[in-house]
Every structure is written in C-alpha cells, then in structure tokens.
Amino acid sequence: MIKRCLTVPGRFESLAQIAEFIGETARAADWNDDEVYHVQMAVDEACSNVMEHAYGPGGPGEIDLTCCIQDQGDLVISIHDNGMPFDPSVVPEPPIGADLESLPEGGLGLYFMRKLMDQVTFQFDERDGNVLTMVKRRRQ
C-alpha cells in the first residue's frame, strides 16, 4: 500500500498544490491521465467546498489530505477539516438536463464528486470535525 499525506492552509491558493499532490500520487500508481484528471477534479471540488463553506471568511484552518493506493489498486482519499459541520443532505441536486438557467447556488461541486468517484462518504463528529472519504476503484 502507498500512503501519502499533505496538510495545507484551507485557502483557495492551496488548490493548485492539492491538484499536484493528487496527480503525483495517482500517477505513481499508474493511473491513466483521464482517471487522474477525474480524481483531481473531485478533490478540487471537495476542498473548494471546505474552504468556502466549512471555514469561510471567518478564518481558515488547515486541510489534511491522505491519499492511499491500496494493494488491489483502489485509490482512497480522505479530506479532514475542523470547520463547520457539513451535511450533504441539505444540498439541493442541480437540475442537470433540465432548466440550467435557474441553477441554484451550490450543489454542482457535490454532483461532480459523486459523478467522478465510485464512493463518497461524509462523516462529522464534535471532536474530529469533518472527514470526507472518496474512493476510485481500479478498473481491470
């Protein structure tokens, strides 16, 4: 198993560094460029949400990323923050294929995360904060 970690300030300026970190790790495990791009986008959307909503303008904390390549090749990414709790059930689904002119605020990032990854799980507790875990399975 390969495991790599990165801690960055929860500010938008960290997004390019996060994309580089994810790209390096996924390429080290021989994921192809299309798959790497999809994982980078899902992580970018997830971290952007943390920066904008969990931390917000009140003052950013840190984001801890852990990227694991499991023995069978699956990619498991955990994103941890100590910001406001996030409840995905309150985020409206974007009207894909319908009236995009009235696209509500939010929801598009979460849509991409679910579309691009095989598994997306949110957890929150008072002590540990938010932990988002996303899995991309290795295609045989």
Partner 1 sequence: MRVAQTPLAGNVICVKVEGRLDAATVPAFEQALQRLLLEGQARLVVDLGEVNYISSSGLRVLLTARRQSRSRGGDLFLCSLRPRVKEIFQMVGFLSVFGVYAASEDAAAAFPQPAV
**Site of interaction with partner 1 (CB under 8 A):** 12-13, 15-16, 19, 34, 37, 40-41, 44-45, 48, 51-52, 94, 96-97, 100-101, 103, 108-109, 111-112, 115
Write down the least CB distance from residue 135 to partner 1, Å: 19
> Measured from the CB atom, is 1 or 100 closer to partner 1?
100
Q: Shortest approach of partner 1 to residue 39 CB, angstroms? A: 13
Q: What angle do CA 114, 124, 134 make, to 5 degrees?
A: 30
Q: Please identify, using beta-carbon distances, which residue of 73 and 106 lies nearer to partner 1.
A: 106
Query: Least separation, in Å, of the C-beta of 71 and partner 1?
Result: 29
The per-residue b/e assignment along 98-109, b for 16 or more CB within 10 angstroms, e otherwise, is: eeeeeeeeebeb
- Of the two residues 45 and 68, which places its CB atom closer to partner 1 in the complex? 45
Contact assessment for residue 133 and residue 77, using Cβ atoms and an 8 Å cutoff = yes
Q: Which CB atom, from 48 or from 70, has the smaller least distance to partner 1?
A: 48
